[in-house]
Chains A and B, each alone.
Chain A
């Protein structure tokens, strides 16, 4: 257990539905990242926050995706009008900016299946 938690761990939804995932980072970490991972591939960066500010978004993050970190603690990732191509593992990670090792601590992920 890295101290980063994600909920739910699994989500099955029908195409066209909206889904929301939650990430709770390690409490003192000011940076929070979202990644997506499909089968056989390494994780792909989606977006990251420093405190409550969203500092970078990947072009993978279409307008159906939105992420928030309203109080600089937990974060949510919402996908609207889900498509089958959204099926993937969604990983959250946190880090302390300027930390000694610059390591990111990953949660266990939320596996999304879009039928």
Chain B
């Protein structure tokens, strides 16, 4: 699996957009970029995924660079409930098996 690197922690003011970067320079052509988050004392929660096109859903937007070596998760209007650890994962969807989590980015939303 491709290794991803993320900042250890980030702060964002409530109501502002939170932009979480992820580097995946060794990603292979059949690996998707997935984002999960884990709120304190809960299990991880799927947010969004993409292959090469930008994606948007009700939770977030995912911007993937053209060379696919990095991506950014955008929470457009962060709330205090978005305080969590965010994990960026590169996964081969066709293998459909285990997730390899890194340490993620701890996002603090400040009131």
Q: Name A's B-contacting residues (CB within 8 A).
A: 2, 4, 31, 33, 35, 40-45, 48, 55-56, 58, 91, 93, 95, 97-98, 101-109
Contacts and interface: CB of A to CB of B under 8 A. Distances in A.
Nearest to A101: B49
Given A48-B98, A102-B96, A103-B34, 17 more contacts: A42-B85, A42-B87, A42-B101, A42-B104, A44-B101, A45-B100, A55-B97, A56-B97, A93-B44, A101-B46, A102-B32, A102-B91, A102-B93, A104-B44, A107-B43, A108-B41, A108-B43
A2 B98 contact: no
| Chain B interface, DSSP helix/strand/loop, else mixed | loop
Contacts, number: 60
Interface residues of B, number: 22
